[in-house]
Amino acid sequence: MATMMRAGIPTEQFALSGTFQAVPEVEFDAVRFATYGTDRVVPLLRATNADTDSVGTAITEDETVRSAQVITSQDQNTLLRMDWTDQVRFLTRVLVGEHGTVVSARGSTEGWTFRILFPERDAVSSTCDAFEEYDIDIERITALKDAPSIEGSQLTDGQFSILKAAVDEGYYEVPRRTNLQELASELGVSHQALSERSRRGHRALIESVVMP
């Protein structure tokens, strides 16, 4: 059975600890992920709450980064392509070692939080052993049968992808950084399909909270 794990790593044990010391207000969200078997699990990061110059200068001096390239920047929102040191690459391989996929990753001065999807429960057990060895904190493990549902079925991959993209691109922020038309274009779907899937996804999430 597919299983979702939430894991935490202190910044000083993972990545960008020097950047957080220099720019403590900055937060990072990974916006593109890879699965197991690759050195580039978190290649793109979006930095928010800090200006591009401050973040860029701090990252240049950060010992966990080989190099970083600014892809886009607007106000306090910067998209960067990362090239990590061997230590960070090694820990990301530990995170996804048993056929896991990083679904989300967020870093701040309080630490890094990862949500990792595993296709089988057995893979989680093997990963837990590795996490203990490298002091990675397992915060939550959830079987997807317990995930929000619509009429008894799980939140679909399409609905999840759309809601995740909406969060990543700032659709729910005030003011919004994007709209449904722009999201639809980026995801390669029609505006109508995006609207319908997002409404169904919203309903599933809301029902999981307010329904008995």
Q: What is the pLDDT of residues 110-140, one digit of tens each?
A: 999 998 888 776 777 777 777 877 878 888 8
Number of domains in the chain: 2
Considering the domain architecture, whether residues 111 and 67 belong to the same structural domain is answered as yes
> End-to-end alpha-carbon separation of the chain, Å?
25
191 and 198 Cβ atoms separated by less than 8 Å: no
pTM: predicted TM-score of the whole model, two decimal places: 0.66
Quick one: pLDDT band at residue 1, thresholds 50, 70, 90? low
Whether residue 23 sits in one domain with residue 7: yes
Q: Which domain holds residue 163?
A: 149-210
pLDDT in tens, 38-94: 555 567 899 999 999 999 999 999 999 999 999 888 888 899 999 999 998 888 888
Which domain-ending residue is among 145, 172, 192? 145
Of 116, 145, 174, the residue at which a domain comes to its end is 145
In a shared domain, residues 161 and 138: no
Are residues 53 and 83 located together in one domain of the fold? yes
> Do 20 and 36 belong to one domain?
yes
Last residue of a domain, one of 145, 162, 188: 145
**CB neighbours of residue 140 within 10 Å:** 10
